Amino acid sequence: IFKMNKDAQMRATINQKLIETGERERLKELLRAKLIECGWKDQLKAHCKDVIKEKGLEHVTVDDLVSEITPKGRALVPDSVKKELLQRIRTFLAQHASL
């Protein structure tokens, strides 16, 4: 339990530093651009349309749609995008090693 609490504290500290420095917003923008560039957004949009067509517009709530597409959305993120983001975060952490 202590280790989990310590991990949660570390994540919170890192997240706070990312927010304070504006790096979190820059990472989000980079992610958005990369996902559009690789066609992820279009793939997910098409999947949403398929789910709505399959279940019928009257029978789909936003929550249903989110729970249906989230796993596919995560799976469709290219490894190259994940690696680039991870590298950017590691670089940030190395520059802010006092955390």
- What's residue 69's pLDDT? 94
Q: Please state the domain extents for the chain.
A: 1-96
Q: State the number of CA atoms in the 13 A half-sphere of 56 facing the CB.
A: 2
- Which CATH class, in words, describes the domain spanning 1-96? mainly alpha
pTM: 0.78
Per residue in 42-88, pLDDT tens? 999 999 999 999 999 899 999 999 999 999 999 999 999 999 999 99
**Smallest Cα–Cα separation from 40: which of 79, 1, 11, 67?**
79
